[in-house]
Structures are given as structure tokens and as C-alpha cells.
Amino acid sequence: MKKHKKIAVVLVVFLLLIMTGCGKKNPKEMVIEALDNQLDTKSFTVKGKIDLGFDFNLDQDSITIEDQQMAAIFKNIGAEFEGKYQKDPQQQIMNMKLGFQGMNFEMDVYSKEQEIWMRIPMFPQYIYMNTEEMAEKQGIDIDMKKQQRLGEKLGKEFNREFFEALPEERFTIEKGENIEGNVKVDLITINLDMEDVRNILSLLIEKMKSEEYKDLFFGVFPTNQELVGAEGDMAAFFEELQKMIEIDNLVLKMGIDSKSFIRQEEIQGALTFKDPDNSKQTFKANFHILLNYDDFNRKIDFVYPDFEKEGVVNFEEMFGEPTRELEPEIELQYQSNL
């Protein structure tokens, strides 16, 4: 189980790389400026696709039917999606189509400020949640506007500190490239490695520990003790992680237009996962993610379904009320800091 958690952490980090994503200066300065610009954007639309491929090399001496079934199910997975975003008032719509093993599923997400409606595969009703109410039930007082401002500030700090630390030779640029929609961009390529994954995690924990951002992350590491433990175990964690995972290839590309907007983001990677307890068992993961952005700072129409007419079930009715289990002294310390 611990091994699977470590693999999950690495996959989350790669997603963070995508999210941090992406002037006219050198390529590094162009990326940082475009990242800042993207976080200040008032609205945009996005289209994207994700392709995942898994190649399992299972130990024939210990393979089970369940192992074979799982390998077949996850051999190839694809997704396409379209989305809209507006900062104030905050609104988002995301429509996604998933496909694997010849089956196709649709998933829709709608949000207005703190309210979220989701339609998931094989469930006829929308699942509804109110993030402010859920936080209050956990004893957390959330100011959504403050959280949004903090998130933008953190994003700028995180992006700047991470990308500024990368050597200049990691960045290459191809000027005047045409991408989807006949949009002309400067295409910047950034090559990443395992040390960058280490730096992302270290930087993330540093931000989570700070007094300014702790409430933004509350619930990810429920106690200060766990957060300190996560940092203290970092060296040992990576030593063990490198025995399990090899980065065969990890490339991030950003297409930046003349106004310093990120019009395209692309990430390609190939990883090899090894079982430290069984050298005969490995699997390779190949992924390709492509995002195209448009309509920056334009007026965007948001059309929502009639949720009540189509049917709504509360998230807490399905999964129960969220709970927050903290040690008494940590609970008192947190409340005293509010």
C-alpha cells in the first residue's frame, strides 16, 4: 500500500507540472511572465486531450487473473474535454469524454462561486456540493475570495521559484510556430528530470508550512506533525522512490503568443515503475497531454442545466459528512491561530 501511495504522489506531481505550466525576453523569463499573466486572466476557454498508455510486464510466476484483467483495462485510456472559466464572479464549466476498453463515458462539472454540480458516469443525477458549508461542518472558516487571492499569490511564487531555479540550458525556443487555429506562438520546450520532481515536492511542503498559506492547504496534511514528518522524511523518500521509478522522458512545451498568453501547453512523458521486491515485475507509463487556450479576458456565456429538473443528490447524502480528526493539542493550536 505504501508503494502505491508513493507512485500516486509522483503522478500528482506531474499533474502539478502541467498546472504550473506556462514575454519578450529569454525563454525562462518568457515562461515566468506568461505564468503570471495566466493567473491574472479574468476569463478563458480551453480544449484538451489526454492519452495514457500502460505496458505491464508481470511476473509470470505469480500473476493472477485479477492482474491480467487490470492490465487489460488500463492498457490505453483517453480523454477529451472542453471548458470555460471566469474569475469574478467565479464560474466554471467542464465537459469531458473518457474512453477505455472500447467504452465511452461522459462527465460534466459546473460551478458558481462555492457551489459545484457534477454528473459522473453511470449515475443519473447531478451530485451537488457547497464547499463553504462543507468547510464549516469541519470547523474551518473559509473566505472564498481570500482563498482565491491566496491561491493566485501562491501560484506566482511557486512558478517563479521553481522555474527560476532551472538551468538556462533546459529551455529551448522555436519562434513563430503555428498551432491549432492558425495561432502564431513562440514554442518553448523544457526538459525535466527526477531532481525537478524532488524540488517541486520540497517547494510545495515549504509553502504548506508557511503561516500565510497554511489554511489554503488545510486538510491535505491534517496536522503540523505530519507536515514536519513529510519534510523530515524527504531524503529517505526519494532514495526509496528512485529504486521504484525511472523517468525515461519528461518534456513540457508552452506556446506563448505576442501578448504573453499561454495558447498551448503540452506535456509528454515516459516512466518505468519497478517493484523493489520483485525484479521480474515492472510497468511503463506513457502519457501525452495537450491543452489549447482561447478567449482570454473576453465575455463568455455560461449556460447551466436545470439541475433540479434533471435531479440532484447532495454529496453528503452519498458519501457521508466529511470529518476532520485532529489530535486535541493540534486542534487547539489551529483554532488559536484563526
pLDDT digits over 29-49, tens only? 999 999 999 999 999 999 999
Q: Is the dihedral of CA 226, 227, 233, 234 positive or negative?
A: positive
Q: Which helix (H) or strand (E) holds 245?
A: strand 245-256
Single-letter amino acid, residue 219: G
Structural domain count, the chain = 1
Does the structure show a pLDDT above 70 at 129? yes
CB 205 within 8 A of CB 230: yes
Does the structure show a pLDDT above 80 at 295? yes
- How do residues 178-198 score in pLDDT, each as one tens digit? 888 888 999 999 999 888 888
Average pLDDT score over residue span 217-221? 57
Average pLDDT score over residue span 320-338? 41
What is the reported pLDDT for 17?
Answer: 55
What is the reported pLDDT for 294?
Answer: 96
Average pLDDT score over residue span 74-92? 92
Residue 175 vs residue 282, higher pLDDT: 175
Residue 17 vs residue 331, higher pLDDT: 17
Residue 65's CB: how many other CB atoms inside 10 A? 7
Average pLDDT score over residue span 128-147? 79
Work out the angle between the directed axes of helices 234-244 and 224-232 (0-180°, nearest 10).
60
Average pLDDT score over residue span 105-134? 91
- How do residues 253-262 score in pLDDT, each as one tens digit? 999 999 999 9
What is the reported pLDDT for 190?
Answer: 96
The pTM of the full predicted model, rounded to 2 decimals, is: 0.77
Pairing of strands 126-130, 312-314: parallel
With 0-12 / 13-18 / 19 or more C-beta atoms within 10 angstroms meaning exposed / middle / buried, residue 186 is buried
What is the reported pLDDT for 329?
Answer: 38
Q: What is the mean pLDDT of the chain?
A: 80
What is the reported pLDDT for 258?
Answer: 93
The domain of 286 spans 2-337
CB 170 within 8 A of CB 30: no
Highest mean pLDDT: which of 11-15, 98-102, 149-153, 332-336?
A: 149-153
